[in-house]
């Protein structure tokens, strides 16, 4: 029965994958790609296709790609994707080749999400067997979290508009997912490569090194180690083979070596690419410096643009430190509390960065919503799910309307658009808080099953 169910699920999965690819291609063939590349929710100063094309044109004209404060991305993207901004196929939509690269990136990301989800599901089932909880929890009703997560990512409207809108977000998301897949599968060189590229492109994925270290040192997500000790103490027999492995520094050191190797390689390539245009210092100042100083105050779905447009210049540096350090303050407490669930910790980190980063886009939300699909079984009792779903739909519909009223019709002002950004940030806060609470409640449920306490007990 399980095999039949798996075959049916696999057939349905590939049908949905095919449908999502066809839907993307249909949208690509619409005139001017529905002008999604000009939407502030889709394109930011870091992910904009137009800025990428401008940077490539400047470089081809023997000028610095960072001249004029237009382009702020990686020089490697100029070398890899820059030629696609000018290549045309007669009789086909403009930038078709670039759009196809984005589609391929989305599909590869979905396949990596699926493979990682399958690894997490197997690890979770092994943990339940070690805890002798297979009979108490109906394992046969467990959903295939890998397939669900992959379909959430592929069929998510945020992912689709980021792909069709010629954003570089699909490339950045693929690097993050590649890092997590490599760490979960113990492919250390691949994990290091993904982490280095993701950090190089966007800076914020640097904090993912903490869940990657936990993944390599302890393995995939599992219940807290003390639950295994409690279970085997009840049996008065300590079976070491059924305990989760202790932290091992060997894979972590191996990862550090490969991360250093890939970092040097990437910096050398960037140095060669910018040899005539100021070298690496010019790149650091125009990319990471641009991210940290929030120089561009054009509207986006974040909250920093409005805040720094209103704040007095005298306090600007102070609040820059406050906003960026706010992310760092959350790293350690979450790492301590969720150290036994590194993949879920990675999801929480990605969601927090998407909420507080300088130039967020819907591509960032597409990434963490896809990662959330890995935990559909553990988060089955999560509260406010319908509220969050309706909230995301409402913000997605109202944001373009408010932007149109403000910029084009002149019947509104910046507060209209900023209100949707505030609601969007609040929704992400609720998602993170309720998600972490639901995961901790799931761990308490397992502990109560072991100790024989009622399942509604909170301690």
Is residue 164 within 8 A of residue 34, CB to CB? The reply is: yes
240-280 pLDDT, tens per residue? Answer: 556 667 778 889 999 999 999 999 999 999 999 888 887 88
Domain coverage including residue 60: 2-299+309-376
pLDDT tens-digit profile of 392-418? 999 999 999 998 888 888 787 888 899
- Residue 45 included in any domain: yes
* SS3 label, residue 295: coil
Number of CB atoms found within 10 A of residue 454's CB? 6
In a domain, 406, yes or no: no
Total structural domains within the chain: 1
Q: Is the pLDDT of residue 67 over 90?
A: no
Question: Is 272 domain-assigned?
Answer: yes
Question: Is residue 221 situated within a structural domain?
Answer: yes
pLDDT at site 8: 46
Number of Cβ within 10 Å of residue 326's Cβ equals 12
Mean pLDDT of the chain: 86
Q: Averaged over 339-356, what is the pLDDT?
A: 93
Could you tell me if residue 242 is inside a domain? yes
Q: What pTM value is reported for the model?
A: 0.91
413 found inside a domain:
no
Short-list 195, 175, 189, 194, CA closest to 257: 189
180 is a domain residue: yes
76 located within any domain: yes
pLDDT at 243: 63
pLDDT at 11: 62
Rounded CA separation 264/193 (Å): 11
Percent of the chain with pLDDT over 70: 88
Res 36 pLDDT > 90: no
């Amino acid at each position: 029965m399980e095999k039949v169910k798996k075959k049916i699920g696999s057939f349905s999965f590939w049908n949905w994958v095919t449908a999502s690819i066809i839907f993307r291609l249909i949208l690509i063939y619409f005139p001017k790609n529905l002008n999604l590349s000009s939407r502030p929710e889709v394109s930011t100063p870091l992910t904009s296709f137009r800025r990428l094309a401008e940077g490539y044109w400047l470089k081809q004209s023997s000028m610095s790609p960072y001249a004029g404060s237009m382009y702020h991305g990686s020089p490697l993207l100029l070398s890899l994707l820059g030629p696609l901004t000018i290549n045309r196929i007669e009789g086909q939509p403009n930038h078709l080749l670039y759009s196809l690269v984005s589609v391929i990136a989305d599909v590869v990301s979905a396949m990596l999400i699926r493979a990682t989800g399958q690894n997490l599901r197997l690890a979770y089932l092994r943990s339940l067997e070690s805890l002798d909880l297979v009979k108490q929890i109906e394992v046969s009703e467990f959903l295939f979290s890998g397939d669900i997560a992959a379909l959430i990512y592929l069929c998510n409207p945020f992912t689709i508009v980021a792909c069709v809108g010629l954003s570089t977000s699909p490339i950045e998301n693929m690097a993050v997912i590649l890092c997590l897949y490599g760490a979960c599968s113990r492919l250390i060189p691949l994990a290091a490569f993904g982490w280095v590229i993701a950090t190089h492109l966007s800076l914020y994925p640097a904090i993912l090194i903490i869940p990657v270290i936990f993944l390599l040192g302890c393995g995939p997500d599992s219940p807290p180690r003390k639950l295994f000790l409690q279970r085997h103490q009840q049996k008065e027999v300590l079976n070491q083979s059924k305990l989760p492995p202790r932290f091992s520094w060997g894979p972590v050191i191996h990862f550090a070596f490969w991360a250093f190797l890939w970092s040097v390689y990437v910096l050398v390539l960037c140095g060669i690419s910018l040899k005539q245009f100021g070298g690496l210092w010019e790149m650091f100042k125009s990319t990471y410096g641009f991210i940290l100083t929030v120089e561009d105050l054009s509207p986006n779905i974040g909250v920093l643009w409005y805040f720094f447009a209103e704040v007095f210049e005298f306090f600007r540096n102070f609040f820059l430190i406050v906003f960026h350090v706010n992310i760092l303050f959350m790293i350690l407490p979450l790492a301590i509390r969720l150290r036994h669930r590194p993949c879920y910790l990675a999801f929480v980190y990605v969601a927090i960065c998407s909420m507080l980063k300088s130039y967020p886009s819907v591509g960032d939300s597409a990434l963490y919503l896809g990662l959330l699909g890995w935990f559909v079984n553990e988060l089955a009792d999560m509260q406010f799910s319908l509220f969050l779903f309706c909230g995301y739909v409402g913000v997605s519909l109202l944001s373009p309307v408010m932007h149109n009223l403000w910029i084009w019709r002149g019947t509104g002002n910046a507060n209209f658009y900023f209100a949707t950004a505030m609601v969007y940030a609040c929704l992400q806060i609720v998602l993170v808080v309720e998600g972490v609470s639901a995961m901790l409640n799931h761990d308490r449920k397992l502990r109560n099953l072991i100790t024989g306490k009622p399942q509604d007990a909170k301690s």
